[in-house]
Amino acid sequence: MQRYFLNIYIGIKTILIGMFITLKHMFTKSVTVQYPHKKLDIPERCRNLLLNKIEDCIGCYQCARACPVYCITMETIKAFEGENLGLTSDGSKKRLWIPVFDIDMAKCCYCGLCTYPCPTKCLIMTDKYEYSTYKRDNLIFHFTNVDAVKAAELREKDHIRKMEKEK
Amino acid sequence: MLQKEIQREYYNKFVELVVEIAKWLGMYNSLPAIWWFIIASIVAALFFFFIIAVFALIAIYVERKVSGHVQDRLGPMETGWHGILQTLADTIKLFLKEDIIPAAVDRKLFILAPVIVFMTSLAVFVVFPFSEKFVVTELNIGILYVVAISTVVVPGIIMAGWSSNNKWSLFGAMRSAAQIVSYEIPVGLSIVCAVMAAGDLSMQGIVVKQAGGFWNWFIFSNPFTFVAFFIYFLASLAEVNRMPFDIPEAESELVAGYMTEYSGIRWAFFFLAEYGNMLAVSIIAVTLFLGGWQAPFPALEFIPGWLWFLCKTLFLVFVQIWMRWTLPRLRVDQLMYICWKVLTPFAFVCIFGGGLWQVLIK
């Protein structure tokens, strides 16, 4: 009998305690960040969207080899005689045309391994994280300084050069 | 005496109002008198449908906001200012949804069930005194009518559960029926306490007896009705399947209980009935224990009665919501323990003590 009344007493008491706790929380400031209107600062060394500063890229394939999921597709064509492709920002000479430099962000696992071996530090991970699209193809990011017409021209020239070499 | 006057004056006030409008339009003689009664009933039903719908719109928004803030979130924020149009958008979405009747259900019962459930929650509203003037039907056994009608919801729920041909629905319906039937007893007994204090079964009569300041409200008039109020409040939560007594539709075990197979507009009717019941039990609690439309101080009587009524009712609704987001769900055996071993004996003690109080002290 004593236990019965004690039980009821404890029940009522704990309900009141709980109700006051929730009442208190009704007037505390919410922790919600109203995301699309307000964004949290991204940490300095975060790993998000990959960016290749193509004007600095020397086409060395180091990144493509480092990638554990093979999300970087590259095609390079050796510069032809008499062509000067210029220098990168750190002064190394560019020797290759890069008609294709595709990064498939759908495959990317954000490990950042591709950015470490890059000799000219042109492949970096940016703080951009909003790039969802309706089509999966849109997740393939194309970086190239050669337009399609020029690329076809280069490929043809390269083919001819190879044929000549074989002869 | 006072109460008799009020009864004569406001008996079927709503029908009289409709008849007066008809006479004013010069249409009264074109139809037999009984038709005006039917038209008045239909108008009243539509009116209460409107009230429940508007209340549900507001209550769902408030519920989401309160739940958000209790959990240190913000709740809906995007649709309109601070998400104020969120429920409206949800309602439009519900109306546009496909109305699915699964192939294996018992069609007739499946269609009938939400109608019955909603009808009962609508039907209790006719006897509620919203203010000193506005009560649709002044029944002299008003509270008895409320208790009787609100029990009709059980067949509706069992119909929904059985016809859905689904194990979750059936379990939900069985639990709901067991719960409602059990909790009718403490509800009935605590209502008897208030009725004994008032000496009247009519809702308007009960309110009139509580006139003249909050110390005359039955919750404060004697200690036994004070306890009876809390018994009523807890038991009514269980009757309308609200947290912490929401085991009939416990999401984590039963998906959605007896409404699992419903979708679109039929589901909306269940939902509307739920919020209608929420409003109804608050109104009953306010009418029986918190003085209905009476002002808390005689000096404040210049504020219209319906405003007091609205404030008190919405406060109780808020307490229901607040409680929902505080307390976890009870186990089935705990639920029955509270009903049969705690609330019912205490309600009996309240009746006994309240009766003695009436005889000895008053």
- A45 falls within a domain: no
> Tokens representing B204?
């308007």
Q: Chain A residue closest to B75 (CA)? A: A32
**B63 vs A contacts (CB less than 8 Å):** none
B10 pLDDT tier (thresholds 50, 70, 90): very low
The answer, yes or no, to whether residue B2 has pLDDT greater than 60, is: no
8 Å CB contact of A30 and B323: no
Q: What does the pLDDT read at residue B12? A: 58
| Neighbour tally for B212: CB within 10 Å | 14
Q: Is A27 on the interface with B (CB under 8 A)?
A: yes
Structural contact between residues B68 and A22, judged by C-beta atoms closer than 8 angstroms: no
8 Å CB contact of B74 and A32: yes
- A15 falls within a domain: no
Alpha carbons A148 and B341: distance in angstroms, whole number: 83
Structural contact between residues B94 and B103, judged by C-beta atoms closer than 8 angstroms: no
8 Å CB contact of A30 and B72: yes
In eight-state DSSP terms, residue A157 is: H
Closest-CA residue to B235 (of B143, B319, B335): B335
**B71 vs A contacts (CB less than 8 Å):** 25
* Number of folded domains that form chain A: 1
CATH number, domain containing residue A138: 3.30.70.3270
Closest-CA residue to B191 (of B223, B236, B154, B156): B236
8 Å CB contact of A27 and B73: no
Closest-CA residue to A62 (of A48, A74, A45, A78): A74
Q: Which domain holds residue A128?
A: 50-166
**A29 vs B contacts (CB less than 8 Å):** 72
Residue showing tokens 């409040």: B233
**A32 vs B contacts (CB less than 8 Å):** 72-74
Give the pLDDT confidence of A90-148 residue by residue, as tens digits.
Answer: 778 888 888 888 889 888 888 888 888 988 888 888 888 888 889 888 888 888 878 88
Query: What is the ipTM for the molecules in this complex?
Result: 0.74
3-state class of A99 per DSSP? strand
Give the pLDDT confidence of B286-325 residue by residue, as tens digits.
Answer: 888 888 788 788 777 777 778 888 888 889 989 988 888 8
8 Å CB contact of A21 and B326: yes
To the nearest whole Å, the CA of A22 is away from the closest chain B CA by 5
**Average pLDDT for B64-72:** 87
Give the pLDDT confidence of A32-89 residue by residue, as tens digits.
Answer: 888 888 888 888 888 888 888 888 888 888 888 899 998 888 888 888 877 777 787 8
Task: Select from A8, A22, A29 the Cβ nearest to the Cβ of B322.
Answer: A22
- A16 falls within a domain: no
8 Å CB contact of B342 and A26: no
- A44 falls within a domain: no
